[in-house]
Amino acid sequence: MNLVEELGERKIIDLIMECLDQMPNTPVPFGDDVSAIDIGNGKLAVIKTDMLVGKTDVPAAMNLWQAARKAVVMNVSDLAAKGVQPIALLASIGIPKGLSKKDIQQIGKGLNNGAREYNAYVLGGDTNEASDLIISCAALGICQKRDLIKRSGAKPKDYVAVTGFFGKTASGLKILLENLLVPPDIKEELVNAVFMPRARLKEGLALAQTQAATASIDSSDGLAWSIHEISRASKVGFVIDNLPIASEMEKFTQIHGLDPVELSLYGGEEYELLVTVKPKFWQDAKEAVENVGGSLIKIGLATKEKGLFLKRMGKTVPIEARGWEHFKTGLNQRA
């Protein structure tokens, strides 16, 4: 257990965290979706950085415009989960030799379109020569301190809910990487989840306004892992009794004899929000999200007991703490 490929991403993050001095009175704990500093007057400056790497995050069929847009969406999604509007984006780009002028323009347009889609602007960045395509974005937003939804506020009996159905991206990736046959309408929906991920920004902003959400996380490491993270940060357990299985994904699994529970729980690379909500404010939260054109689907309950369980078809099974993890589940390992 000494090389990074044996350690895996989570252990690597722990090793780095152990080397870091903690900032006193930091408003958001290390390991939440974003970092923040107090800027006075009840406000926070919120920042996030997330890196897209060609060989693990960009399937061959994805174009550079889509890749650059995805690099933006990955960062916007983390601010969305905290209820924070991104204002500015920066992009540090590593460019492999052999890319053309048109390729660079595709990257520039993808960055700009991604940012403008969420009412943000790309303000600057940095370009470098690298062996892989690397697009490392940083997002900055300002919010009221009281509006930021951490991972740590869930209480027993809170409802747990999501902003959409799961398993589409994992299915889309399988279709692309294993060249699987599926009916065109289903294929389009599933493959689009890979090519055109969407951050649930308007949903996150609406939820922050209600003050109804007690905890929130984006689900980019998968539904199970996200539940696990809220559980760990909030010191609660969860019982999920309404697994949010995407219908297109279910049809896909029926055709290919795959397990829809596996794909929706452990697939990852999805950008839905997973939130906990005080039961008495459930209706407020649901309406707030629906008013901006989204949906909030109740999938279970937070519990005092620490375990994570899935109730489905009369059976109760543990939800494992696993999901998308670099060095373990990158495209190169999947392919």
Least distance in angstroms from the C-beta of 94 to a second copy = 6
Q: How far is the CB of 323 from a second copy (least distance, A)?
A: 15
Comparison of 116 and 157: residue with beta carbon closer to a second copy:
116
Q: Minimal distance in Å, beta carbon 56 to a second copy? A: 5
- Nearer to a second copy by Cβ, of 49 and 211: the residue is 49
Is the Cβ of residue 4 or residue 317 nearer to a second copy in the bound state? Answer: 4
Q: Which is nearer to a second copy, 189 or 270 (CB)?
A: 270
- How many residues in the chain? 335
How far is 130 from 160, CA to CA, in rounded Å? 42
Task: Give me the least distance between CB of 148 and a second copy, in Å please.
Answer: 14
Beta bridge partners of 211: none
Closest CA to 258 of 274, 270, 271, 246: 246
Toward a second copy, which CB reaches closer, 125 or 153?
125
Bridge partners, 215 (sequence order): 276
Residue indicated by tokens 């589940």: 329
DSSP 137: E
Q: Which of 66, 96, 58, 4 is nearest to 334 (CA)?
A: 58
| Structure tokens belonging to residue 165 | 């159905």
Q: With H, G, I as helix, E, B as strand and everything else as coil, classify residue 32.
A: coil
Distance CA 214, CA 202 (A): 18
How many whole angstroms separate alpha carbon 15 and alpha carbon 108? 34
Kindly report the CA angle at 299 between 326 and 304, in degrees rounded to 5?
Answer: 85
CB of 244 to a second copy, least distance (A): 26
Among 148, 147, 161, 152, smallest CA distance to 276 is for 161
The span from the CA of 201 to the CA of 253, in Å, is 29
Shortest reach from residue 170's CB to a second copy, in Å:
19
Local structure of 48: helix, strand or coil: strand
Q: State the nearest-atom distance from the C-beta of 282 to a second copy, in Å.
A: 31
Q: Which is nearer to a second copy, 15 or 317 (CB)?
A: 15
Nearer to a second copy, 99 or 335 (CB): 99
Looking at residue 185, its amino acid is D
Phi, psi of 270 (to 5 degrees): -115, 160
In angstroms, give the least distance from the CB of 73 to a second copy. 14
Residue closer to a second copy by CB (options 2, 179) is 2
Q: Is the dihedral of CA 144, 237, 225, 244 positive or negative?
A: negative
Residue placing its CB nearer to a second copy in the complex, 51 or 297: 51
Residue 133 near residue 95 (C-beta atoms within 8 A)? yes
Shortest Å distance, C-beta 294 to a second copy: 25
